[in-house]
Amino acid sequence: MTIQIGEQIPEVILKRIREGVETIDTRALFEGRKAVLFAVPGAFTPTCSEKHLPSFVQHFEDFRKRGIEVFCVSVNDPFVMQAWGKTQHVPDGLQMLADGNADLVKALGLEMDASSYGMGIRARRFALYAEDGVVRNLFIEAPGEYKVSSAEHVLANIG
């Protein structure tokens, strides 16, 4: 079942690279803060690299001015997420999170089966806005679409 507005983000362990590979749980990421989490089907894939992540890089400071943290998640390993972030000139503070086993996207009910493309289980393209770990806005793309999860759309539609 897909997570709904008003529900708590499930507690799941993710990976990121800072001084090395770190393990972080979603409760620690979201607790006590405003945050946007956006998910891409795959690092280095066309729409994700040409549009989705770049929109959040371009508007990162707009989110920060509103006191909103920005997290990017993909069903990739932390090394891929780090390399992708470097090639995309991701600013310090925009966290690149690895959901290597799709635990988070499955817990959110936002996974998709991309096996026909040789990619296995991946995240659907989406963005959500949460306050203190509670989902306040949810923007889920239709298959093959990129409209409602862009940074521009999210900024225009959150409180």
* Tens digit of each residue's pLDDT (9 = 90 or more) over 1-28: 899 999 999 999 999 999 899 999 999 9
Give SS3 for 13: strand
Task: Determine which helix (DSSP H) or strand (DSSP E) holds 139, and give its type and residue range.
Answer: strand 134-140
Q: Which active-site residues does the annotation give?
A: 48
Whether the per-residue pLDDT at 159 is higher than 80: the answer is no
Helix intervals (H) in 31-150: 46-47, 53-58, 60-65, 78-87, 103-108
Locate 33 and state its tokens. Answer: 């803060």
Give SS3 for 42: coil
* Tens digit of each residue's pLDDT (9 = 90 or more) over 71-81: 999 999 999 99
Domain ranges for the chain, please list them: 13-157
What was the pLDDT predicted at 1? 87
CATH number of 13-157: 3.40.30.10
pTM to 2 decimal places: 0.96
